[in-house]
Amino acid sequence: MQIASTQQLSPPPRLRRGALRVTPLGGLGEIGRNMTVFEHEGKLLVVDCGVLFPEDHQPGVDVILPDFASLRERLGDVVGIVLTHGHEDHIGGVPYLLRERRDIPVIGSRLTLAFVEAKLKEHRITPSTVHVEAGDTHTAGPFGLEFVAVNHSIPDGLAVAIRTAAGLVLHTGDFKMDQFPLDDRITDLRHFARLGEEGVDLFLTDSTNAEVPGFTMSEQELSPAIDQVFATAPRRIIVSSFASHVHRIQQILDAAHAHGRKVGFVGRSMVRNMGIARDLGYLTVPRGLVVDAQKLESMPDDKVTLICTGSQGEPMAALARMANGDHQIRLTEGDTVLLASSLIPGNETAIYGLINKLTDRGARVVHKGNAKVHVSGHASAGELVYCYNIVRPRNVMPVHGESKHLRANAELAIRTGVPADRVVIARDGVVVDLVDGTATIVGAVQADYIYVDGQTVGHADEQTLDERRALRDNGVLTVVAIVDVPGARLAEPLEFVGKGVAVSPETLQGVTRDVEQALAKAPRQALEDVDSLDDLVRKAVDRSLRRKTRQGPVVIAVVVEA
Amino acid sequence: MQIASTQQLSPPPRLRRGALRVTPLGGLGEIGRNMTVFEHEGKLLVVDCGVLFPEDHQPGVDVILPDFASLRERLGDVVGIVLTHGHEDHIGGVPYLLRERRDIPVIGSRLTLAFVEAKLKEHRITPSTVHVEAGDTHTAGPFGLEFVAVNHSIPDGLAVAIRTAAGLVLHTGDFKMDQFPLDDRITDLRHFARLGEEGVDLFLTDSTNAEVPGFTMSEQELSPAIDQVFATAPRRIIVSSFASHVHRIQQILDAAHAHGRKVGFVGRSMVRNMGIARDLGYLTVPRGLVVDAQKLESMPDDKVTLICTGSQGEPMAALARMANGDHQIRLTEGDTVLLASSLIPGNETAIYGLINKLTDRGARVVHKGNAKVHVSGHASAGELVYCYNIVRPRNVMPVHGESKHLRANAELAIRTGVPADRVVIARDGVVVDLVDGTATIVGAVQADYIYVDGQTVGHADEQTLDERRALRDNGVLTVVAIVDVPGARLAEPLEFVGKGVAVSPETLQGVTRDVEQALAKAPRQALEDVDSLDDLVRKAVDRSLRRKTRQGPVVIAVVVEA
């Protein structure tokens, strides 16, 4: 294996004529912010441009973008953005990229374009779009594109084959191989096979579930468990899922219809997306089934189904507010909550907390931990192996995954016979060139985490987050010192403003005494310069507190001369 | 079911003569800080006194204790602390309780006492101990105690039967029903049956795995997977487990011995506990197998096994430091890391992060997600049902669990025929009286989370944590305003000290202008009082920033009159 994480990498050399360069700017090292840039004959093609949702160690961040730094000077060379499907981790960064150049053509299937257009509208951007469907071909500069149907946890997913003089690339996007999908649109393995026979020089494939042995269950197999919930729920049913999971919502609608319940959608994104899906014919809604959520309040509890977001424990979503008792929908003993969604790693604490709160309100909570109400949207190891054997690629580059997923996927490729030295474990920013049929790591470009925080993009950086983590663990203590400089003493006792600090008044009195001593002992010149006086007071407070309480709040010293 | 969480509860009435009062002070509503107080004829008996480890929403806290407030006036009435086993969540609070009264007798089995004595030594406390073993009886005031062998993920666990004039109580502690434990010490169901035939009036039973269907696998069944690791690892093997999991460590030692490897223990708690377990005969170490970890450095990699803690991703533990490359043991391609431990809910992000970092260093990571290298220490639903049918209790009170676990356990009891109104879902602080054979919720006492933070106990409170969470998400901005009060204006531009805030200098200039305006517009009297001037500046800064950037750092305003 070529493993980027064990190498020191420099900026890449100039791309050789006729060669193809592949630079992942996101999604290799994390599940999210997927983005890959292809370069050939001076032109650039972007595949996906998603966001990553922050984890606990990235506090206060709204979303994380790929780093566009390496593109910025060459925006004019970009011939298009291909979107493989409409999930946030593949389309969420598009508004930020189009802010830098508005007229980059956005290429995708009908539902994908509808979702990204709705998002762009919020940013007041009207994109140039190119509508493609499975089987279509499209030429973008020197890149010949061909689209292949794949299924996933959102309809209308596409893999993309990219033909250049350097060879044929196949990028799966996110996919699974459900043989009985609700819309009968299976992953087109015959198309994969045709491309394989033509000769796939580089295969980029979804690593998310590469560690999961066996095969991902079909969506159809969830129907009995969902039906069971509807057959036995004595009162209301509240279903929480992703606002993009059209097929899961279809299953819920079908079950509600079969059991004589009405359905209300709750929450802006759910209402918006289901409207789009219905208008475009991806969601089939029996006449009279869906009613205004407000109307449901006057109906008998056992005729009510509510569908909302919030299955990941997001604190502002409808479900979390119901669990906390501050939503107009009040849960009571006998209500059933169905979490028809995955448990995204990193959200466990939030989700378990949500389940406990819902339980405390008397609701029965049905979730993937106690019933078969969810299947993953990604191909497991068993399916990935089929893919490798059908495509028989010359070079492999696992995408969409953390290090452990990429490695597991690489090992699967090798087990199917791909030579180990043709399997490249890259990471964000690592540049891979395909030259004469061989993929090689040639360098790296900048690929930092770009944090969106309120209205700022890229302003919060690693130092900001370091400081937030320090504040989180220890709080902050602002100290105002009125110093009599000639006397080398405090003119008044220190004034303290603490936030998130647990210190007693007695301790603070002791700190004042320690600062007095530090001033008295300080060399003359330390007192005469404002900055060094700040520094002296700050350090004395810090030292004193650590000794007295073993606590280390962030200390901000404000020194004013008396 | 009697469900405490849906009731408004007042302080309990005086306990009726001859009745038994049960007050859980921890462990009902969380996995951890287990502690239950029994009261009878004016005397108190404590069962367990553990700590809870904080979650992400409790930043900066070291551990969380049960609230001793309701005991504080009555410490003289406490006749003993029974410790069911030696895990932190059952013994970690003992030093803090003994600080309040040193001579409370501590009652437990040999290994449990050895672990708690080692812990108390660090706090410079020598306890009064009472050594009991399975089958023993002991009288503590009006409480007749009888101990029953149970197995768990630490040796020497005990359930305790408590006889009083009010009836017979059976408290399982943490337990499972491994039929083939490594030490052949099975949970004594014949003893459970004898107590059941006598008539158990109140059964307190471990809810941790009540949601898990079926049966917990035997520890013996892990041996093939562990052996496989040792049979195939090309270079070093680094095993991480809990420092108290004597049996798992025994399995590792046996596998290392069988495959001709030496073993080194790494880390203070691992070295200490394994020393205790070995000295007391709970760990069998073949001669020459365990060597000093330093010595292993000069041995061939394929002869080396290291055993350390840190399997939960704890940042200061040896394993995390190896993953970060700042431990003297340097991981390299071909090393194998075996996480022979559970994944405690709440630790997922840390553990997955650890696995990725270890993978990046080239290590193969074997964990419960990809091999059968761990089984739980708790009875699953299948085993709990057996217990209910063997004991046939008159009243049931699930313990050791979050709301969802307690509720699942209660439902199991009801399915086995315990009348629903005799099943009590209490929570921390809820007082349950056993009178005339019936358990009833009668009120509640204070049972706050008591935070240990550095050397302070109980000083950090919910407000402290609210403030830390605000600081974590938004950072802090200290603003120094030199105000010309008569002129109603700033004498100098504002001075800002920000930590964890991402704001541009231009934005801050705008903020200064907004504050100028606020001062100019302020009513006269708002300027003349220092507190209201602080307030005015703080609010003006906050408002200005939110409008300009949608960010809301904690603002600390320091106003000095010019």
The pLDDT tens digits of the residues spanning A142-196 come to 999 999 999 999 999 999 999 999 999 999 999 999 999 999 999 999 999 999 9
Are A206 and A240 in the same domain?
no
pLDDT of A504 reads 87
pLDDT of B520 reads 92
Identify the CA nearest to B157 among candidates B175, B139, B169, B137. B175
A371 found inside a domain = no
Token pair belonging to A130? 């190119």
**B213 vs A contacts (CB less than 8 Å):** 370
Question: Do residues A236 and A333 touch, judged by C-beta distance below 8 A?
Answer: no
* Phi (first) and psi of residue A174, to 5 degrees: -80, 135
Mean per-residue pLDDT, A122-130: 96
Question: Do residues A490 and A484 touch, judged by C-beta distance below 8 A?
Answer: yes
Task: Give the CATH number, domain containing residue A86.
Answer: 3.60.15.10
A450-453 and A137-140 beta bridge pairing: unpaired
pLDDT of A458 reads 87
Are A353 and A472 in the same domain?
no
Q: Residue B297, exposed/middle/buried by CB under 10 A (0-12, 13-18, 19+)?
A: exposed
How many inter-chain contacts (A to B, CB under 8 Å) are there?
194
**A530 vs B contacts (CB less than 8 Å):** none
Identify the CA nearest to B30 among candidates A355, A362, A337, A356. A356
A385 is in an annotated binding site: no
Residue in B48, B67, B178, B206 annotated catalytic: B206
**B403 vs A contacts (CB less than 8 Å):** 356-357, 359-360
pLDDT of A186 reads 96
A56 is annotated as an active-site residue: no
Mean per-residue pLDDT, A358-371: 92
Are A141 and A248 in the same domain?
no
- Residue whose tokens read 């200061």: B316
Q: Residue A150, exposed/middle/buried by CB under 10 A (0-12, 13-18, 19+)?
A: buried
Q: Is the pLDDT confidence value at B6 over 80?
A: no
Q: Residue B46, exposed/middle/buried by CB under 10 A (0-12, 13-18, 19+)?
A: buried
Task: Give the CATH number, domain containing residue A504.
Answer: 3.10.20.580
Helices (H), A15-109: 69-72, 88-91, 94-100
Are B234 and B192 in the same domain?
no
For A90-108, how does the pLDDT look when each residue is reduced to its tens digit (9 = 90+)? 999 999 999 999 999 999 9
Query: How many structural domains comprise chain A?
Result: 3
A400 is in an annotated binding site: yes
Distances (CA, A) of A538 to A466, A532, A548: 19, 10, 16
Q: Quote the domain boundaries for residue A539.
A: 462-561
Q: Is the pLDDT confidence value at A293 over 90?
A: no
Are A92 and A12 in the same domain?
yes
A530 found inside a domain = yes
B346 found inside a domain = yes
Distances (CA, A) of A411 to A368, A404, A425, B328, B366: 29, 11, 10, 29, 15
For B391-414, how does the pLDDT look when each residue is reduced to its tens digit (9 = 90+)? 999 999 999 999 999 999 999 999
A448 is annotated as an active-site residue: no
pLDDT of B370 reads 87
A335 — pLDDT class (breaks 50, 70, 90): very high
B77 found inside a domain = yes
**B475 vs A contacts (CB less than 8 Å):** 60, 464, 467-468, 471
For B124-170, how does the pLDDT look when each residue is reduced to its tens digit (9 = 90+)? 999 999 999 999 999 999 999 999 999 999 999 999 999 999 999 99
Cα–Cα distance between A212 and B369 in angstroms, integer?
Answer: 8
Higher pLDDT: A115 or B346? It is A115
How close is the nearest chain B Cα to the Cα of A38, in Å? 25
Distances (CA, A) of A373 to A236, A308, A366: 18, 16, 8
Are A358 and A447 in the same domain?
no
Are B47 and B79 in the same domain?
yes
Cα–Cα distance between A439 and B356 in angstroms, integer?
Answer: 24
Cα–Cα distance between A377 and A174 in angstroms, integer?
Answer: 8
pLDDT of B504 reads 87
Are A11 and A147 in the same domain?
yes
pTM score of the predicted model: 0.89
User: What are the DSSP calls for B467-484, one per residue?
Assistant: HHHHHHHH-EEEEEEEEE
Q: Is the pLDDT confidence value at A38 over 90?
A: yes
How close is the nearest chain B Cα to the Cα of A102, in Å? 23
Cα–Cα distance between B329 and A195 in angstroms, integer?
Answer: 47
B57 is in an annotated binding site: no
Find the closest chain A residue to B401 by CA distance.
Answer: A356
Mean per-residue pLDDT, A214-233: 94
CB contact under 8 A, A556 and B476: yes
Question: Do residues A479 and A539 touch, judged by C-beta distance below 8 A?
Answer: no
B501 found inside a domain = yes
How close is the nearest chain B Cα to the Cα of A465, in Å? 6
Question: Do residues A90 and A84 touch, judged by C-beta distance below 8 A?
Answer: yes
B301 is in an annotated binding site: no
A340 — pLDDT class (breaks 50, 70, 90): very high
Cα–Cα distance between B85 and B115 in angstroms, integer?
Answer: 9
Q: Is the pLDDT confidence value at A524 over 90?
A: no
Please write down the HEC assignment for all residues of A280-323. Answer: CCCCCCCCCCECCHHHHHHCCHHHEEEEECCCCCCCCCHHHHHH
Mean per-residue pLDDT, A295-317: 92
Are B448 and B521 in the same domain?
no
Distances (CA, A) of B78 to B15, B41, B96, B108: 16, 12, 15, 16
- The one-letter amino acid code at A455 reads Q
Q: Which of residues 26-45 of A touch B (CB under 8 A)?
A: 29
3-state secondary structure of A113: helix
B4 found inside a domain = no
Cα–Cα distance between B26 and B70 in angstroms, integer?
Answer: 13
Are B152 and B190 in the same domain?
yes
**A403 vs B contacts (CB less than 8 Å):** 356-357, 359-360
Are A472 and A509 in the same domain?
yes
A294 — pLDDT class (breaks 50, 70, 90): confident
Where among B334, B366, B398 does a domain terminate? Answer: B366
Q: Among A321-330, A341-350, A395-404, A446-455, which is the least confidently predicted range? A: A341-350
Token pair belonging to A31? 């599940």
B524 — pLDDT class (breaks 50, 70, 90): confident
Task: Give the CATH number, domain containing residue A233.
Answer: 3.40.50.10710
pLDDT of A344 reads 82
Average pLDDT of the residues of chain B: 94
B31 found inside a domain = yes
3-state secondary structure of B103: coil
Find the closest chain B residue to A457 by CA distance.
Answer: B502
How close is the nearest chain A Cα to the Cα of B23, in Å? 19
> Would an 8 Å CB–CB cutoff place B497 in contact with chain A?
yes
Q: Is the pLDDT confidence value at A6 over 80?
A: no
A416 found inside a domain = yes
Which among B362, B472, B502 has the least Cβ separation from residue A459?
B502
> Would an 8 Å CB–CB cutoff place B3 in contact with chain A?
yes
Are B179 and B42 in the same domain?
yes
Question: Do residues A90 and A49 touch, judged by C-beta distance below 8 A?
Answer: yes
Mean per-residue pLDDT, B512-521: 94
3-state secondary structure of B527: helix
Where among A345, A366, A387 does a domain terminate? Answer: A366
Mean per-residue pLDDT, A297-317: 92
CB contact under 8 A, A499 and B346: no
pLDDT of B121 reads 96
Percent of chain A at pLDDT above 70?
100
Where among B413, B434, B453 does a domain terminate? Answer: B453
Q: Is the pLDDT confidence value at B263 over 80?
A: yes
> Would an 8 Å CB–CB cutoff place A283 in contact with chain B?
no
Q: Which of residues 193-222 of B touch A (CB under 8 A)?
A: 211, 213
Question: Do residues B408 and B210 touch, judged by C-beta distance below 8 A?
Answer: yes
How close is the nearest chain B Cα to the Cα of A468, in Å? 5
Cα–Cα distance between B417 and B58 in angstroms, integer?
Answer: 40
For B296-327, how does the pLDDT look when each residue is reduced to its tens digit (9 = 90+)? 989 999 999 999 999 988 888 899 999 999 89
